[in-house]
Every structure is written in structure tokens, then in C-alpha cells.
Amino acid sequence: MKRIIRIAIILLPLFVLIQPGCKVSYTFTGASISPETKTFSVQLFQNLAGIVNPTLSSYLTEELKNRFITQTSLSMVDDFGDFAFSGQITQYNVSPISIQDNEVAAQNRLTISVRVKFVNAKDPKLSFDKTFSQYENFDSNQNFVQVEAELVRLIVEKLVDDIFNAAAANW
């Protein structure tokens, strides 16, 4: 009986490795991208928000490109990649939160929303057109102009995480 178990333990991994037709790509980044997918493209995200941060459009676009360059083996192309991203920034808004007794906000919130159209040319059923939204809070006694760059950096990082996961990790 022990001999049969030893043989099974030795042969089982061989059967798993030899299985034809079953191929899944695993990476340490959490991405699960089909091996047939070779390229990606990212169009400039136009800023259509009521309040326009002049650097946000290019910053968001470049950060999304960088994520795919550094965390996948996909090659970037100008247009019509196997993964193709386009969209627009739809919201850039500062609003008060945490109202105190004297009706003054203790904190404010910067919210950024991005509508993303993702086309998966290799598996169209995984394509999507949806809005991603993230925010960061900051103390109302802070000057927004002084903290804006850091808030934008943190929010864009979260947005890129969400977009990457939705497209590459199928979350």
C-alpha cells in the first residue's frame, strides 16, 4: 500500500505537467493575463471634470502605462493593443466632511472619478466601460494648494490599482 502511495505521489505531478490544452499564466503581481495577449495601449485620459487639475490627465495616463510596463510582460503600442484603455476624468471635487459643532468642516475630501473604457481584443467578454472613483481626506486647516499634489498622487495610485485589477486580474 505504501508503495502505491509513493508511485502516486511521483506520477501525479507528471500528469499535471503533461496536461495539454490547459494553460494559465500566473505572476507575482496578481495579474492573470492570457498568454495570447501581447500588447497594450493607453490613450490620453481627457479631463472633463468641472474643476481641472492641469497635470492630472497626463499623470494618470502615464501611471497606468507604467503599471503595465513594470508588472506585466506586455509591450506598449500606440493604438489598438490587445488591451486597449481610453476614457476621461469625470470628477475632481473638494467637499467638506466631518462637520464640527460650530458648523465648520474638520476635514475635506478630494474625490477623483475616471470613466474607463477597456477593450480586451483577445477575450471581448472581459471588456468593460465603467467608472472608478477614489478619494483622500485632509484637515480643513491645511491649505489645499499645499497638499494637492500628494493627495492626487495617493488617489491616482489607488485608481491605477483598481483599473489594473479590473483589467489584468479580472477582479
Which CATH number fits the domain 2-168, given the four candidates 3.40.50.10440, 3.40.50.300, 3.30.160.150, 3.50.30.30? 3.30.160.150
61 neighbors 89 (Cβ within 8 angstroms): no
- pTM confidence score: 0.79
Q: Within 13 Å and on the Cβ side, how many CA atoms surround 127?
A: 15
Backbone angles phi, psi at 160, to 5 degrees: -65, -40
> What is the dihedral sign for C-alpha 18, 22, 23, 26?
negative
Q: Nearest Cα to 155, choosing from 121, 96, 114?
A: 114
Q: pLDDT at position 114, please?
A: 98
Cell of 129: 466601460
Q: Which of the residues in the chain have pLDDT under 70?
A: 1-31, 99-105, 170-171
Q: pLDDT at position 43, please?
A: 98
Residue with the three cell numbers 476614457: 87
